[in-house]
Chains A and B, each alone.
Chain A
């Protein structure tokens, strides 16, 4: 699947296109299929996202999982500071990234 991601302009937070808006949680992200570029330009133009781009992901029971480890680190947070990730209390989070 293809996911559209970027950053919030003001805060810099990593965000994911949900199909109708933006969420900081990758589990909320939607497969943009072939529409990615079009949505990207519309959202960037309206300043609802900064520096957007499209990545590959695999659909899993836990939700979309970015295909590349770099994007997974970006989705959750640094593996070496679990307390600073989006899932500080989740012991499986580190494994999900790696």
Chain B
């Protein structure tokens, strides 16, 4: 269940296949990455993908943040979804890493999510979002 989505286009109806399955039969348009999957394996295929789902079986396992950024850095512009043990207090970091949709296991209060996303408007580092880091604001 995609509860929070920050894209204008249509939600992909295609079921996600595993990375292994995708690499075997590469006409799927939706892939699911587990924490120990190497997102870079998808780089040759980014154009055909409309959805990459990154699994967070436990919120403490932060590998998905790197997967997301790597995919955005490689030029992926499709939907990048965080799925699983996603808590409201991780959403802001996930957005900064390039996630634009969320499918949390638990239910999140939409007001809390909105609050989490608007708490900070200054950021120290350049990431996968469009935020201009503070050092750039300082020096242009």
Task: Answer yes or no: A and B touching, Cβ < 8 Å.
Answer: no
Q: Which residues of B are in contact with A by a Cβ distance under 8 Å?
A: none
Q: Which residues of A are in contact with B by a Cβ distance under 8 Å?
A: none
